[in-house]
Amino acid sequence: MTKKEFHNHPGWRWCTPQGARDQVLLLGLQTTFREKLEWLEEAETLALRLRMNRDAAKKRSVSGK
């Protein structure tokens, strides 16, 4: 791939900070409110699971000493 082809490729822009922000904004415009709520619920569930696992690991390491 030549340098000119690289810069004309639409995907390269998403790898820049501004391109990443634009992609997030575009995704926000393309998803429905319901889809956003579902995503937030899944993210919350993941965060709760990670916290439970972290707390369980701390308890195991304290009791193992």
Q: What was the pLDDT predicted at 4?
A: 63
56 found inside a domain: yes
Mean pLDDT of the region 30-46: 96
Mean pLDDT of the region 5-14: 68
14 found inside a domain: no
- Contact of 12 with 6, CB cutoff 8 Å: yes
Domain of residue 42 covers 32-65
How many independent structural domains does the chain possess?
A: 1
7 found inside a domain: no
Cα separation of 48 and 55, whole Å? 11
36 found inside a domain: yes
- Contact of 13 with 19, CB cutoff 8 Å: yes
Percentage of the chain lying above the pLDDT 70 cut: 83
Mean pLDDT of the region 17-28: 90
Cα separation of 20 and 6, whole Å? 18
2 found inside a domain: no
Mean pLDDT of the chain: 86
Identify which of 58, 40, 37 has the alpha carbon closest to the alpha carbon of residue 48.
40
62 found inside a domain: yes
22 found inside a domain: no
